[in-house]
Structure 1
Amino acid sequence: MKINYECGACFLRQAKEAMDLATDDEDVKIELMNDIFTYLSSNFYKDTNSNKTGSTIHSMIKDKTGCYDPYIKEKIAGNEIALKYLPVVKEVLNQNNSLENHVKIAIIGNILDFGAFTLDTDVGSLINSALKRDLAIKDINEFEDALKKYDEVLYLVDNTGEIVFDKLLLSKIKQYDLNITIAVKSKPIINDACMEDAINVGLDEFGKIVEIGAGTVGYVDSEISEEFREIFNSHDFVISKGMGNYEGLTEIDLSDKEVFFLLCSKCTTISKNIGVNLQDMLLLRNSN
């Protein structure tokens, strides 16, 4: 997905947040913001790739501060929030064990995104509210058809915390006798899940965990490893979690695949792109 004018303010907001987490040195922050202004002045155009731009800004912050995982405390907090609400969502599934409800719970997990929300956001209240709402787009019949049609699926995870809820959907998918490959980031980026995070919550119980070969905001096709490209190309059925993966995957040709995007739309740019309201949750099949 390409940027629009609103992305500029978001890049700067997230840059400030990452800098505040990475260092207390005000002089370094001034230098960094100057560097980011310079970078954006040469790279902020209508056809610019949003994921690659955001990834570059985060790399600039890491390199100058020497802090390569600024969101480590937020990742821990995300897991704590997910674990706190896990009994609640399990009770929901006890009352309604449908595939749609499992999908909904996995999408609610996508709310746990400190890259999209400010640090003082009351995430707990957002989850409680989301549990009472229906999906704005729910291509659930097509999704179940794909689960029955294919022998294997590639599951692109998003954030720590969120992956706790992903386990519930992965468990449901297993009932369809699919082989699951779970893709994580190779290096820390915002609060996205890496290999250690995935193993710590037990995702390896449901399938093989692989790394995409990069630590980028969402999926950036030019940055993935050749090893992961082979894995991606070999899968006809892909489940994509989160906004970053949606932004990245919509930049490439998916005509030979069935891709299902599971996300909560947390920015107006993506909401307009899809045609939904802010904070809407959706299960969207790509139109290949």
Structure 2
Amino acid sequence: MHTSLDCLPCFLTQALKGARLAAPAREDIHQRVVQEWAAEFANLDLTLSPPALAGRLYALLADSVGDVDPFRGYKEQSNMQALRLLPRLDALVRQQADPLRAALGVSIIGNYMDAGVQLVVDVEDALSREDIGAVDDDTYVMLRQRLTPGASVMILGDNAGEIAFDTLLVRRLAEAGCVVTYVVRGVPIINDATMEDARFVGMTDLCEVVSSGVDTPGTVLERCAPGFVDRMASVDVVLSKGQGNFEALRDNFADAFFAFKAKCPKVAGLCGVPQGTSMLHYESS
């Protein structure tokens, strides 16, 4: 997915948010970061995906505030909130006629926990009012047919907090006999999940967890660790979580299922759905 002009104001909002979290009392740093990002706009290749460009811009933030994780507190709070909700959600999922579909729906609603977009949603409220089974029927049937016993499934994770909800999905896939690998980012970037988050929420106790190696808020193929893309291409099912992974991989990787919330007007318009829709989308070559 190419970057649009509509993405540029969002980048500036992310710059200011990150600078304020990293250096709360330093208005001079906030100003410098925003101005540096704005100046960089003249040099951006808008044919690249938003996550690819965001990774480049966040490097400017690191230059100004040092090697810190400004969203660490947000991530910890998100993980704790999701873990608190898990027992009730696990019971809810198990009560459904199709627990796998319900677990997938819960994990998609968990994608609201995203510090990189301007849409702010109370995930607990969303879980109480949204239909957890509301995913595209035809795409779900296609996905379900491929989740046979012994099938290798790679889940490309997205955000902290959301990764805790994803444990419900991993449990249901394991019950279906699938062999699951869960993927996290290589380094902290916005509130995306890393290996530290995977350990904290217990994902490492459920399945193999690996790092894609990326330093971008999405699985940008050219930024992946050596051998990772080949491994991704070799599995039976790739289930890509989150809008950032959709933006990075759409048009760039064949044969993937995308599960995410359409959180920005640009992506919602591209998908032809209202903003906030739970998306289960399939892309093939």
TM-score by length of 2: 0.92
Deviation at 1:137, TM superposition (A): 6.4
What residue in structure 2 maps to residue 143 of structure 1? Answer: 143
Quote the residue 2:229 is aligned against: 229
Supply the distance in 2 between the matched residues of 1:58 and 1:145 (Cα, whole angstroms): 40
Query: Aligned AA for 1:269?
Result: K
The match for 1:15 is 15
Distance verdict in 2 for CA 1:84–1:221, change over 3 Å = same
Query: In structure 1, what is the Cα distance between the partners aligned to 2:143 and 2:284?
Result: 13
Give the partner amino acid of 1:110: N
Q: 1:269 aligned to 2:266?
A: yes
Structure 2 runs not aligned, ≥5 long: none
In structure 2, the residue matched to 1:103 is 104
Question: In structure 2, what is the Cα distance between the partners aligned to 1:269 and 1:125?
Answer: 24
Q: 1:55 is matched with which residue?
A: 55
Change (3 A) 1:234 1:136: closer
Give runs of ≥4 in structure 1 deviating > 6 Å. none
Matched, 1:167 2:167: yes
Letter in 1 for 2:101: E
2:180 & 2:132 partners in 1: Cα distance?
A: 30
SS in 2 for 1:226: coil
**Paired position in structure 2 for 1:286:** 283
What is the rounded CA distance, in whole Å, between the counterparts of 1:55 and 1:242 in structure 2? Answer: 16
1:82 Cα offset (Å)? 0.8
- 1:138: Cα distance to partner? 5.9
> Aligned ranges for residues 92-241 of structure 1 at < 5 Å?
92-98=92-98, 99-117=100-118, 122-131=122-131, 134-135=134-135, 139-148=139-148, 151-241=151-241
Q: Distance in 2 between matches of 1:174 and 1:273?
A: 33
Preserved contact between residue 137 and residue 282 of structure 1 (Cα < 8 Å): no
> Which stretch shifts more, 93-102 or 17-26?
93-102
Kept in 2: contact 1:83–1:164 (CA 8 A) = yes
User: Which residue number corresponds to residue 34 of structure 1?
Assistant: 35
Q: After superposing the two structures, state which structure 1 stretch, 130-139 or 63-72, moved more.
A: 130-139
Distance 1:150 1:136, change over 3 A: same
Q: Secondary structure at the match of 2:274?
A: coil
For the aligned residue pairs, the C-alpha RMSD in angstroms reads: 2.0
Paired residue type of 1:260: F
Secondary structure of the equivalent of 1:278? coil
Q: Percent identity?
A: 29
- AA of the residue aligned to 1:53: L
The amino acid of 2:57's aligned partner reads I
Contact 2:212 2:228 in 1 (8 A): yes
Q: CA shift at 1:80, angstroms?
A: 1.9
The amino acid that maps onto 1:245 is: N
